[in-house]
Structure 1
């Protein structure tokens, strides 16, 4: 059998700096690189010193030794470039902030000192690392979560590889707006083993995104070596597998990194797609303490000394002075200027000296603000007129099914707002995706209805990045269970972004999740996601039970500056409702609707259980006050409407089709009993499915999910135990 070698189309190169390259290096570029390198080193030394003195709360991951990679890279990026990083990112943050503030004529060796805005950037960065009110995020981000949009620092990340899909989203937004901006995403060698990294690399290549992936290869994931992590030690193969050109460079030579970055930037601009750089560097200290790795036994002192002899600061100072690019006085002035702004930052944040030093007490955030900024204040709806069905004359209404209005309302909003785009599996195929939810949209907006690979964590992270860059992505997940594939990006990232970065930066993601109901899809395709998302208060949750509500709630979701989950029950797709001919009305988040008046019992329900409650109450002759909650995010539940009903009926049940373990009812029941205990004649009743997930077997599926018999039994039990005797027999008139 003949074997033919398959060759990748993506180049995989190692770049080495030669003597003639030094002859072509611009003196101003040398000043910039040295400035950013010294800024990173002096800042990191200061943070490590504060950490040793117990003034840094939590980890302070030092990058001392490996700053040459990021300094050399950032110095060659445009000032308006955007970056993301990982948990070890102080050096990237300080370098990027100072670079963003340096105009084309800036000389860091001036005797007059650095500009005041550079002092402010350094001070507020240190304040954030120390958890102080004056920090970039008001102290919430701390060492691992650094963001300042003014400087193009779009978020560092405590989750290994977590920032890579977000960087793809940022690059997507810049490409869609044709701004010409490039995104650089910094991460370590350990991140390449994460599935998220592969998903992000594939998406960047697939969509030709203007992004530079930058691996700081310091050889250790805490204490685990590359050799202990993977059979293939050549990390560039990860980029090659996705068709991304890549280069390896000596990261201890900052000028070599700068030249590699120039090459990468040209590649991105000319070929309009991603590039990867691997900079081989070395961190001198252990994961997050100021002790060398040898103290923990996973490195030798000889190895550490060998790398210290190649220190990027010492190397660069020696090269530029011996070559006459900078004199010693210029180097000294740059270093002194950097030391001064770092010292000024410490002076602002800390009082006292040595072991007597302490954080200035007046700089701590007010503890009363701990819950502020989890979501916005909905001020984006200040000029919106909200509507209900009774607000429209019959002449303005037409009969529509839920599945008809899903793509129609989206089309209307996309026509008005070009920042809206839809992404998900098969959304642009089959004339509207797997169920017709995007019918006609791909024809009208071919570049804004985007098929994705089966890569939920990747494209959900892309959506988050695009959202913080000013786009309004709408994600379609084919089935709600698939949120678990995207759990990091949906719950660790999207849900927490607003709060962790100071509470004032919008994250306008809309996530559409489908619930199939009792249709035989089995336990891995049948989840109602409401209870899971309710655990993460950064998400708003809406659950429309009819076409009218769907239009109003989707309009609201697309205007909201917070992430919104829209739960769609497939059993309702063919349900017909009167809907206004113009889809321009809104239903407020946090406003329930009474769909049936009664005095015996209050029933709280959503989605397909609304019709079931109405039918069963009618059959049993029960005067039930039936309330469609519509909003299910726990901080938004309409307890005013619930309380008014409960004071009338004194009996309440929460009716859910889903299984008991994933239901939201326990949270609502707990809050009702806290708020309205004196109005209850009996404990809050939960009418919900069983513990087991529904299986494909028709009878077991019906047994797992709550249905009419469960509701009848629950209502009979409630009325038997309440003061609302006697119970009406089945079929009696209300």
Structure 2
């Protein structure tokens, strides 16, 4: 049986590569030192290899990001690990009111190479305060970039892009991805359209029945939905996965959307002023007058995420949720 490298292992290796390359890079977070290596083991082994650069911190999200901001202003670089994405709310002021504004408020451009990593999402039974997807609270903040990890984007290149941009950024990482293989489903092939990955069946099969646009954490559920749509309903389409959620590069999404009249935007957060809402609106606006149907939006339910697995599944987006959204677009 062939084994494949996991996304979590690739992320750990990427952090090690960057720390080895740049002695001015620091990694900060709660319980990230060995032997624990963080709540999900992503930093395991790094504090042993880089004891000066990997710093385990007290439980103070605002304080951790504040230290990272200070390091950046002093000419260094910092990656911060939130234990859970839910806790990033405690650092909201340091991210939104300080880091995002510091690139422009000193009278000349000031680089702020700060990356805040956020393990996000549910389907793990962790309950209401450890399972949320808070991306939408940071979408549209001037000076702040928002990214999401996926199995289709190289973590080394992704982190280099974030640190090299000179802008503070958040990197959301769906917790279910850590154990996922760093490769696509065997049924599909992947090509890259700039920073956006396109996933589809082999070129010999047309892929114009639908388009799914989803962030990285939903790739497993989205490809499971695509497999079901192909095998059970004889529908073949494409999945586009942008690494950067904001600012959004609309061009690859729009080019793909013009080849089908059925577009479904998927995200794991609840409705209301969210990333998916923005993407659906901008696509609908650009396609107005040429599309035969509306851009559909598939989101989590408007409710607190339960701990019980069967109830959690009802709130969060699942593969069958995406299948149903695509089928409804065909009616």
Per the TM superposition, whether the score is higher than 0.5 is yes
- For 2:55 and 2:157, the matched residues in 1 are separated by 24
Deviations along 1:489-543, one digit per CA (max 9) or x if unpaired, are 0111111221333461111101110014211111111122321111313221221
**SS across alignment from 1:400:** coil
Residues 495 and 424 (structure 1), Cα distance of their counterparts in 2 relative to 1, 3 Å cut: same
Structure 1 window deviating more from structure 2 (471-480 vs 523-532): it is: 523-532
8 Å CA contact retained: 2:216, 2:242 = no
- Partners of 1:708 and 1:435 in 2: how far apart? 24
Which residue of 527, 536, 541 maps to 2:141? 536
Give a deviation string over 1:151-195, Cα, whole Å, max 9, x none. xxxxxxxxxxxxxxxxxxxxxxxxxxxxxxxxxxxxxxxxxxxxx
Is residue 2:198 matched to residue 1:594? yes
User: Is the alpha carbon distance of 1:670 and 1:435 closer, same or farther for their aligned partners in structure 2, counting shifts above 3 Å?
Assistant: same
Residue 487 (1) aligns with residue 92 (2): yes
Equivalenced residues, count: 313
Q: Distance in 1 between matches of 2:52 and 2:35?
A: 16
Instruction: Report how far residue 419 of structure 1 moved.
Output: 0.8
Q: Which residue of 1 aligns with 2:165?
A: 560
- Could you tell me how far 1:471 is from its partner in structure 2? 0.8
Per-residue CA deviation, residues 413-448 of structure 1 (Å, 9 max, x unaligned), is 111111101111101143422211111110111121
1:289 aligned residue: none
Measure the CA separation in 1 of the matches of 2:180 and 2:153.
11
- Choose between structure 1 and 2: higher helix proportion: 1
| Contact 2:28/2:79, CA 8 A, preserved across alignment | yes
**Does structure 2 retain, via aligned residues, the 8 Å contact 1:544–1:630?**
yes
Task: Give 5+ residue unaligned stretches, structure 2.
Answer: 185-191, 202-206
Tell me the residue number matched to 1:677: 288
- In 2, Cα distance between equivalents of 1:448 and 1:717: 51
- Counterpart in the other structure of 1:686: 297
Q: Which residue number corresponds to residue 632 of structure 1?
A: 245
Q: Which has the higher relative contact order, 1 or 2, with Cα contacts under 8 A spaced 6 or more apart?
A: 2
Per-residue CA deviation, residues 204-257 of structure 1 (Å, 9 max, x unaligned), is: xxxxxxxxxxxxxxxxxxxxxxxxxxxxxxxxxxxxxxxxxxxxxxxxxxxxxx
Matched, 1:610 2:219: yes
Give the deviation of 1:563 after TM superposition.
0.9
- Tell me if 1:457 matches 2:62: yes
Match of 1:698 among 309, 312, 319: 309
SS in 1 for 2:182: strand
- The structural deviation recorded for 1:662 is 7.0
The whole-number CA distance in structure 2 between the counterparts of 1:481 and 1:503 is: 34
Q: Distance in 2 between matches of 1:692 and 1:682?
A: 28
Counterparts of 1:662 and 1:444, CA distance in 2: 43
Tell which deviates more after alignment, 520-529 or 475-484: 520-529
Distance in 1 separating the partners of 2:281 and 2:177: 29
Distance in 2 separating the partners of 1:547 and 1:628:
8
Bigger radius of gyration, 1 or 2?
A: 1
> Normalized against structure 1, the TM-score is what?
0.41
2:17/2:156 contact within 8 Å kept: no
Give the SS at the match of 1:523: coil
- Give the 3 Å change call, closer, same or farther, for CA 547–628 of structure 1 in structure 2: closer
